[in-house]
Structure 1
């Protein structure tokens, strides 16, 4: 069965009749990882999300699979060691959605980091994270630093640290993990909301679900239900009778995007601001994006706002570290805001709250997992599923396999490993050119879709009403990636709303018409989804 909303009715019918071992509420990166771990152990697995997959925090991050260098300052050594090692695993299992990115850490007089403490911290970081020799840190002189990035403030510069992080497309990473779970037998559906829980003998035994597309209600039965709904975790817990014990504290992170003609950054930078916070500036696809802010947030997380104060803060950070760059409000092409579901800690500022994950179990058996970082998603999934496997053994005398995800390529990752990926790219460029794509078009597709690229090449259409690459991506998103609305496609399947707004503006009507034809929308449905996309465009512009 294709991973498509074209056979949605069949998938919902299966959810109605199948008794599942595990049901996961939440289709962000945490829920995706849990679904993959569960199904690989042999558990009959289902996953739902009330929005599109990755529509919450998992499409609104800094888009880095990073090891958390700054957490060494908070003495969270164990967390740095664990997620540092996980960083390499994420890269190895999905090199098409994860790319090594050398990061420059400028050191200035009076700044957060000193030269010798930074050298020591980066050395410890390399050791804790098990960084391979070719990616270990080096310390650069002032002249070496300015050569790497001439825009960096030279006044008071003492040199820099130079180390590797990993850049990703967070939404695509999430989709690829869910697709792998589906390939292995999990049943995953977007636009399905958990309305209330069902109980047997006082224990959670499933949910009453609502199809957010047609409003129909149906029951999903499961022996164990896991709440991995991110910023909505507490509201889901309330449906189970309360939120006893610890609870979440939401913080908001904002990023802005500026064209490279205005901010021609050539090197990714991690720098401290005037208020001694740390901010990233990263070049990507002809743009430079900067983030993130870190403020408490207490409103609906479904579409967190970007305020004038947020934008002003980041523009001031640019002027502070890159004084020759003349930026103002009009230079911001797009922006995004994400909400982090952190574990509440009394008296802590947003930047001080730990990013570690925690698991809670209610009296009814509902498991909730919250906190954590994108980088550690696989280990978080392994941890909670070890607990679930133990429960099945003790309560039902059922034995499941150990975790099998450490060396499992995600969807699109069957390219022979990270070391062979570039050779694979060259091979598939030739294939794409044979199918009628240009060299650059083929390169774009294979770099983004990895070993799934042949399915995109199959969507080459003569006299297409849009560019070849865009049409192939749209058809693949409909047929193989559960995209249902133009917002699903432009935001979470190809990230164009953030980094290529012109393409969205030029082709939104044509793409919407194609989606409407595939899903037989009424005129009212079509207008609804167009309005949704227009609202997203307005929010990010």
Structure 2
């Protein structure tokens, strides 16, 4: 039977396999790039193992702007090739790879001057649309631009200041639940034979007698056990941890990466009645006001981060910055009282020089693959939208030209779990909703998370009808979603559920605090926790909430980081007993 569920039993089996096999490819890093690499390698028929020392997507890939986009602003730099590549990937995600997870989203580009700005903006957006159509083989995967008068723009976004625009251009990009995409990539890699285990920390790189990479020394943070994973090729996809990981191998190759912090705030959906999002250029970067079904995400920032890498946090100043820029165009200013969530992530900014130019290949202006030592490569840079291209490039480079040509990547047309049959399930939405007592809003929510796998979720409700009940303090989620997070989606701890699966950590004012008891009760049943373990998980997550809320009141990165670090990580010395 094909395995597609991330569970404690699956993890244990994968850990056992990692100790007994020699893999064609070992992927270090379980963010979107590493998950994409694992799927790319496994779908080529390569024996593949993927590990991460945190939860899946725990780093940058659960802390992004949650956008799939071509990068409209890059057109200002005449970066046509880069934009075309990203738009091509956006089209693939929308139509084939993950149509259930990636949804087209209209945005307004407000115009300040009626003639000149509209003319050059129209050319830029027109080129954006044209590149998207070319990338999709002549098909339109999203609607093309529309020019809106001032009156029409205000109808689309009633809360905009009357003097903030003289009109607008409506254009399309797409949005995605970043962490859910990563988890689905890992699960799809399982389908094609990969072995996967989260919270496995790499502590050293094993070399053969010629000095080539031959595997990794690792520690299972859930049990404290240490062992060796043998592999013919290693791919380092650890983002802001790139240098730390490649330093274990020594050598002169590798990449140089700096961390840049981007923060977002979350506000309730009913705070703005707008039909479209908004795209604003700032003095440093861009600001997106992005609508989701139950909330808005607003961000981002771009500032150097010099603190610990595991838990970046917004400061009070960061939050004020985002509010100030959003309020430049909003008629009724947002205040801190409107904010129901905040989060921060670190971009792995690739530096211009790799450590040894002779051992690298510049495959894109956005990302680079480099040989660290023979048998080990590193990839960094890029963005979520182009994860698949990055993955293909990394595996190609690791294999070498001849082997890569003999086993090319199939991922450009490979649907992720939940994508096959998605349209057919959408057509049954009203009937299924009626059968289970779910309204249209609930069905939209479930379909956008599970796609054609919604049948599996509904089957769990057939077995236990109490799973159909909404969470008491977060009724946008039902109990079955918490159970599935544990039995299918790889959650090992309470924080895994709140942060990356039932995402109340960033989407509710108390970071899910009111739901801790109920969610822990469901998780305990699904994962077989004893009472002591359940209480420890609850205590740990509540400490995290307190630390995060305290951090965002601080004025500086150093002070905010210090507050966040007061919450101790749940794993490290073995917590599964």
Match of 1:91 among 90, 94, 97: 94
Q: How does 1:301-320 map to 2 (within 5 A)?
A: 301-320=309-328
Tell me, which stretches of 5 or more residues in structure 1 are unaligned? 347-353
Equivalence for 2:395: 385
Equivalence for 2:46: 43
Equivalence for 2:336: 329
**DSSP 3-state at the match of 1:298:** coil
Equivalence for 2:349: 342
1:519 positional shift = 3.7
Equivalence for 1:370: 380
Equivalence for 2:154: 146
1:327 positional shift = 2.2
Q: Is the 8 A contact 1:6 1:519 kept in 2?
A: no
Q: Is the 8 A contact 1:455 1:476 kept in 2?
A: no
CA distance in 2 between partners of 1:54 and 1:39 (Å): 19
**DSSP 3-state at the match of 2:74:** helix
Deviations 1:187-233 (A, max 9, x none): 11111111111111211111111111111111111100000011111
Equivalence for 1:214: 223
Q: Is the 8 A contact 2:467 2:478 kept in 1?
A: no
TM-score (norm 1): 0.90
CA distance in 2 between partners of 1:356 and 1:240 (Å): 25
CA distance in 2 between partners of 1:513 and 1:400 (Å): 50
Change (3 A) 1:11 1:433: farther
CA distance in 2 between partners of 1:79 and 1:37 (Å): 21
Q: Is the 8 A contact 1:96 1:450 kept in 2?
A: yes
Q: Is the 8 A contact 1:429 1:443 kept in 2?
A: no
Asked if 1:102 is matched to 2:106, the reply is yes
Equivalence for 1:126: 129
1:126 positional shift = 1.7
CA distance in 1 between partners of 2:541 and 2:492 (Å): 12
Change (3 A) 1:121 1:209: same
1:305 positional shift = 1.4
**DSSP 3-state at the match of 1:458:** helix
Equivalence for 2:420: 414
**DSSP 3-state at the match of 1:300:** coil
CA distance in 2 between partners of 1:54 and 1:445 (Å): 21
Change (3 A) 1:328 1:431: closer
1:358 positional shift = 0.6
Q: Is the 8 A contact 2:513 2:542 kept in 1?
A: no
**DSSP 3-state at the match of 1:73:** helix
Change (3 A) 1:412 1:502: farther
Equivalence for 1:227: 236
Moved more, 26-35 or 69-78: 69-78
CA distance in 2 between partners of 1:453 and 1:245 (Å): 42
Deviations 1:233-290 (A, max 9, x none): 11101111167564012111000012244444432000124x3632001122332221
1:403 positional shift = 0.9
1:499 positional shift = 2.2
Deviations 1:436-469 (A, max 9, x none): 6556544432232011111100121234595275
CA distance in 2 between partners of 1:447 and 1:465 (Å): 17
Q: Is the 8 A contact 2:499 2:506 kept in 1?
A: yes
Q: Is the 8 A contact 1:315 1:328 kept in 2?
A: yes
Q: Is the 8 A contact 1:79 1:356 kept in 2?
A: yes
Equivalence for 2:458: 457
Q: Is the 8 A contact 1:22 1:226 kept in 2?
A: yes
Q: Is the 8 A contact 1:342 1:355 kept in 2?
A: no
Equivalence for 2:501: 493
Q: Is the 8 A contact 2:249 2:373 kept in 1?
A: no
CA distance in 2 between partners of 1:148 and 1:355 (Å): 36
CA distance in 1 between partners of 2:530 and 2:365 (Å): 44
**DSSP 3-state at the match of 2:147:** strand
Equivalence for 2:411: 405
Match of 1:190 among 198, 216, 220: 198
1:31 positional shift = 0.7
Change (3 A) 1:261 1:42: closer
Q: Is the 8 A contact 1:104 1:269 kept in 2?
A: yes
- Number of aligned positions between the proteins: 522
Equivalence for 1:448: 449
Change (3 A) 1:403 1:261: closer
Equivalence for 1:253: 262
1:74 positional shift = 2.2
